[in-house]
Amino acid sequence: MTACSKSTPPAATPEPLAQATTQDDAAAQAAAAAQAADEAKTAELAAKEKELAERETALKQKELEAELARRDAETAAAEAAAATQAAAARQAAAKKASAAKPATRTAAAAPKAAAPATPIVVPAGTQLAIELVTPVGTKTNKVGDGVDARLASDLMVGDRRAAKAGASVHGSITQIISGSKKIGGTPTLGVTFNSLVAANGASVPINAPFTQLGKSETGKDTAKIVGGAAAGAIIGHQVSHKNGSVVGGILGGAAGTAAAKGTGGEVTLTAGQVVTVATQSSFEVRP
């Protein structure tokens, strides 16, 4: 019984097999650790290479940007220098031109001073339209009286104006035949215009005569004289029988003459009246 109740102890594992298994596991772990370490190193190396490549790329980019900036700066500097040079050239040219202009003007002005403008020559026979300022007449005026007038229109010689319309004209009376003061003949008023104010403001001598004739009353004066003589003959017979015809003739003639002188015609030119005259000689007007 005692023998039956004793238990059988378990069989012991052989030690060599257990040790082999442990060594295999350790080797496997070591290999895995080594592989992991290799992989980590590889990854680290790849990361470093990538970082190095990125740094090189960034450096090249910076170098490229710096090169481009340098070139831009050089181009800008060249353009600025060219602009400055062009501005200086323009300024120099402007100074040279401004310095040359006064000399040119002076040179151009010299011939003008040496050669004045050609005078305007008004030829003989030129007609002038003259407006009287004051009235004149054979009854109220005498030889030598002045006559004031003005030009009624511009005095032109070609395309040049010698005198303006309204310019003062002066003359004098040169002939008077009054029907009231002279027996027979034709009443006559003669005026000679001898000066006018030219366009330059100077008074210029001219010679432009004008004659206005009135209506002749010679026939009427003769009839009055004859009638006066006949009446004088009658008066003469009443004055003296011996020589009354002679005395009457003288008295009659004198009375007829006085009547003729007192009733003759006249010539009158009113203020504002325009007369046309022709110059008898040429004259010059300086511009």
**CA-CA distances (angstroms) from residue 127 to 210, 217, 241?**
11, 31, 65
Segment 10-62, tens digit of pLDDT: 555 556 666 777 878 888 888 888 888 888 889 988 898 898 888 888 888 88
The token pair that represents 227 in the structure block: 């009638």
Least confident of 177-181, 183-187, 262-266: 262-266
CATH class of 137-235+263-285: mainly beta
| Predicted confidence band of residue 287 (pLDDT cuts 50, 70, 90) | confident
pLDDT at 10: 56
pLDDT at 251: 35
pLDDT at 166: 96
* Mean predicted confidence (pLDDT) in 143-163: 96
pLDDT at 117: 83
Segment 132-147, tens digit of pLDDT: 999 999 999 999 999 9
pLDDT at 30: 86
pLDDT at 255: 30
The token pair that represents 184 in the structure block: 């027979």
Segment 91-132, tens digit of pLDDT: 888 888 777 666 555 555 555 565 678 999 999 999 999 999
The radius of gyration of the chain from alpha carbons, rounded to an integer in Å, stands at 70
pLDDT at 99: 73
What is the pTM for the complete model shown?
A: 0.47
**pLDDT of 67 over the 70 cut:** yes
**pLDDT of 237 over the 80 cut:** no
| Predicted confidence band of residue 215 (pLDDT cuts 50, 70, 90) | confident
Q: What is the mean pLDDT of the chain?
A: 78
**CA-CA distances (angstroms) from residue 160 to 45, 151, 156, 250, 261?**
109, 16, 6, 65, 50
Q: Quick check: helix, strand or coil at residue 152?
A: coil
**pLDDT of 243 over the 50 cut:** no
Q: How is the chain split into domains, by residue range?
A: 28-101, 137-235+263-285
Burial class of residue 81, CB neighbours in 10 A (0-12, 13-18, 19+): exposed
* Mean predicted confidence (pLDDT) in 217-245: 40
